[in-house]
Chain A
Amino acid sequence: MKSVYLAVLIFLSGCAHATEKFDADAFYGSPEIHPSSLIQMISNPKSALNKRVTVNGYFVSSGDSWLYLTSEHANVRDTLSAVNILDDTETGELNDTECNNGWVKIHGYYLAVFNKERREVQGRLIVDRMFSHAKGKYCWERKKAFPVEMLN
């Protein structure tokens, strides 16, 4: 009887844990997503700043995380032809995904931040979900909400 009770308890706690999921629509307060391109985000960032976006690019996470125009741009670390990605996970999870060093589609939020060094507003891409084109599946999904105070 005790083992049945324990099994039920484990099952229920597993169910509770499985239902925990980041609800992007609820978090951002809108289901509206703005499809964008890296060229638009680099040359005219205002068009995508502080918006939910989807964008394709070549993703590399090593120290910093960047979404490059092409793999060739990534090979020479041409960060002027890339958008910086903010990996807010505690352990740098994006580095360990199957998406690293590959073509991806990112669903996220293009956060406007003031760069004190450059004295200008820049964008950093917050990732909600990342889809690997090579693998044909999502390789990372956000479980924990991004710190709200940083969105203001």
Chain B
Amino acid sequence: MAGIEECKALCDDKKFLAVLDVARGNLGMQSRLAHDPLTADPIRRHRFIGLVVRKDKSGEYKLGTIGTDAWDGRECFQNGLVCTWQDIFQEAAIVAAAPPSYRLTSIMGRTTVHDCKQLSRKTQTPVFLIGTGMDALKSVFYCDENTFKRFK
């Protein structure tokens, strides 16, 4: 795939790309688990799930917790047994996974593209959207406020 001009710094960062691959694997697995009859999760079924990638003080990328609120621009920080909810804002990236029912055409559809750009605008954070369905498996899309392009 050709490089995405709008994502030049991040998408050429080998450290980030390594973390992105880990995030893809985790999200793909969690999404599949939620839809498997034996491990079905009624909260995560047929929903986008996602996580936040942030850079720590030493310049290393860290993954946040996977949740259904990432697509709405919120993240849960575990505080004992409860969540402390915070709005996602100006982080390195959000990585989100579409449910398995989402084909490639659905991911590239007008509404998903609009929602992705809106999420990026609201959080001021680039979004990487991955497919988990049959024909969308292994696909990765990049979006920011103005762009939605296939990354892989």
Residues on A lying within 8 angstroms of B by beta carbon are 62-65, 77, 79, 84, 86-92, 95, 111, 113-119, 122, 124, 147, 149-150
Q: How far is it, in angstroms, between the C-alpha of A84 and the C-alpha of B29 when the chains are bound?
A: 23
B-side interface mostly:
loop
Inside 8 A of B6's CB, which chain A residues have their CB? Answer: none
Q: Among B18-26, B42-50, B55-63, B139-147, which stretch is in contact with chain A?
A: B42-50
How many A-B Cβ pairs are below 8 Å?
69
B119 to chain A, nearest CB (A): 8
Is B72 a contact partner of A124 (Cβ separation < 8 A)? no
Inside 8 A of B43's CB, which chain A residues have their CB? Answer: 113-117, 122, 124
**In this assembly, does B102 line the interface, its C-beta being within 8 Å of a C-beta of chain A?**
yes
Is B46 a contact partner of A92 (Cβ separation < 8 A)? yes
Pick from B65, B106, B112 the residue with the most CB of A within 10 Å: B106
Residues on B lying within 8 angstroms of A by beta carbon are 37, 40-43, 45-48, 65, 67-69, 71-72, 76, 81-83, 98-99, 101-102, 106, 109, 111-112, 114-115, 118
Inside 8 A of B112's CB, which chain A residues have their CB? Answer: 62-63
B29 to chain A, nearest CB (A): 16
Q: How far is it, in angstroms, between the C-alpha of A147 and the C-alpha of B112 when the chains are bound?
A: 27
Q: How far is it, in angstroms, between the C-alpha of A95 and the C-alpha of B106 when the chains are bound?
A: 9
Inside 8 A of B45's CB, which chain A residues have their CB? Answer: 86, 88
Is A117 a contact partner of B76 (Cβ separation < 8 A)? yes
Q: Enumerate the 8 nearest inter-chain pairs by beta-carbon distance, A residue then B residue, closest first.
A: A62-B111, A113-B42, A92-B101, A117-B67, A63-B48, A87-B46, A115-B43, A64-B47
Q: How far is it, in angstroms, between the C-alpha of A84 and the C-alpha of B112 when the chains are bound?
A: 17
Is A124 a contact partner of B42 (Cβ separation < 8 A)? yes
Is A88 a contact partner of B46 (Cβ separation < 8 A)? yes
Q: How far is it, in angstroms, between the C-alpha of A124 and the C-alpha of B82 when the chains are bound?
A: 20
Q: How far is it, in angstroms, between the C-alpha of A150 and the C-alpha of B36 when the chains are bound?
A: 12
Q: How far is it, in angstroms, between the C-alpha of A150 and the C-alpha of B48 when the chains are bound?
A: 20
Q: Out of A64, A115, A147, which one reaches B40, CB within 8 Å?
A: A147
Is B72 a contact partner of A79 (Cβ separation < 8 A)? yes
Inside 8 A of A62's CB, which chain B residues have their CB? Answer: 109, 111-112, 114-115
Q: Out of B65, B72, B99, B102, which one reaches A77, CB within 8 Å?
A: B72
